[in-house]
Amino acid sequence: MLLPGKLTGPWAATLAGAFWLATAAVSAPALADGIELHGAGSTLAAPLYEKWIGEYQRTHNSVILHYAAVGSGEGVARFASGAVDFGASDVALASEKAAKIAGGVVQVPSTAGMVVLAYNLPGFKGELKLPQDVYSDIFLGRIHSWDDPRIAGANPGLKLPARTIAVVVRQDSSGTTYAFTSHLAAVSKNWGVEGRGAGTVVAWPHEAMNARGNEGVASRIKIADNSIGYVEYGFARRLGLKVAALQNSEGRFVLPSPEAGEAAMVSSATGSLDGLGASIVNPHGPEAYPIVTYSWLLLHRHYPPEQARVLKSFVLFALGDGQKQALNLGYIALPPAVTELAKAAVVEIDAEPAAPTPTTRN
């Protein structure tokens, strides 16, 4: 075990499960009992990691895995400091930052998710459509009322209330925020005029309501009338929140769906893992949903032998049968070309050489 103790987090703080994977391609020796690993990071992907853990813990107990859903920023910080065995982030580490982490880093995409604009608008009936310049100005604080002419113009025939828009945003360092603001920076001239860019933490209008984690944003929208906020699709779906149809790069309004998410990822399925992050900022294609992000597992290049075997087994499961479970939770299965790139990266993880046995001098 690299770390003693137990991590906690704001959402289902610690998840425990047991991991064992035997594949047709690899016949691994049995794992030793008592291997315990700790991870932390992304709230976007946390429900999927919980599902994977649950699948294993029913029948296997040779390994205990703890995962704390503390947000991508905190997950990266804990991984970089050596406080956890693996990290999880919705933002791939830049090469210069990865180079500074002792032991090296292997980054592997585990899943992909859609960032949606969920809203709570009592009395509104119909499908809310939001053009790119409109929803970016809502989050800039330039549009304040639901019956603003620009919103009404995109929704002819629908009655919009004369109510102040309550914007809900993330207060913690977040990969979901990074994905959303990267998209806004790509599609909105006003976003640049206001001096904002892409980041895990940004300066939102002072009147915005802050919440921690995807689950915090979704819960706040659920109870706050006339609110709108950005959140991973699965969280909105589980709470029964309405989501807006967003205008994509082709000018079409698209609701989130597995098909729309997969259409957005088509252009990212070639090349290398290094290019995945920027390839879906504002994807092309008439059916593509406009805000999609990969989620990543951060692993060291070297571990003690049993830990290396466990982590490689877990990641290979995630890239195989685990992708089938992703769709049921509102995530997007990785394209086959991406999973092949990821599996190749897993090969880079290996066991630390055994320490030499001290010699005895007479």
Q: Can you give the residue ranges of every domain in the chain? A: 11-111+294-351, 114-280
Give residue-wise pLDDT tens across range 137-179: 999 999 999 999 999 999 999 999 999 999 999 999 999 999 9
Mean pLDDT, rounded, for 209-230: 97
Whether 99 contacts 301, CB under 8 Å: no
Instruction: Identify the helix (H) or strand (E) that includes residue 57.
Output: helix 46-57
CA nearest neighbour of 214 among 256, 157, 170: 170
For tokens 């995530």, what's the residue? 331
**pLDDT confidence tier of residue 315, bands split at 50, 70 and 90:** confident
The one-letter code for the residue type at 139 is F
Give residue-wise pLDDT tens across range 66-82: 899 999 999 999 999 99
Give residue-wise pLDDT tens across range 175-208: 999 999 999 999 999 998 876 889 999 999 889 9
What is the predicted pLDDT for the residue at 275? 78
Rounded to whole angstroms, what are the CA distances from 6 to 11, 79, 89?
Answer: 15, 15, 20
Q: How far is the C-alpha of 204 from the C-alpha of 206, rounded, in Å?
A: 6
Q: What is the architecture of the domain spanning 114-280?
A: 3-Layer(aba) Sandwich (3.40)
Q: How far is the C-alpha of 276 from the C-alpha of 303, rounded, in Å?
A: 26
Q: What is the chain's mean pLDDT, rounded? A: 85
Q: How far is the C-alpha of 169 from the C-alpha of 179, rounded, in Å?
A: 13
Q: How far is the C-alpha of 62 from the C-alpha of 60, rounded, in Å?
A: 6
Q: What is the pTM of this model?
A: 0.84
Rounded to whole angstroms, what are the CA distances from 43 to 111, 167, 336?
Answer: 13, 20, 25
Give residue-wise pLDDT tens across range 19-54: 333 333 333 334 445 688 899 999 999 999 988 877
CATH class of segment(s) 11-111+294-351: alpha beta
CA nearest neighbour of 332 among 246, 241, 268, 239: 268
Please give the backbone phi and psi of residue 311, each rounded to the nearest 5 degrees, phi first.
-65, -40
Give residue-wise pLDDT tens across range 245-296: 999 999 999 999 999 999 998 877 667 888 787 778 899 999 999 999 999 9
Whether 138 contacts 148, CB under 8 Å: no
For tokens 């029964």, what's the residue? 240
CB atoms within 10 A of CB 161: 14
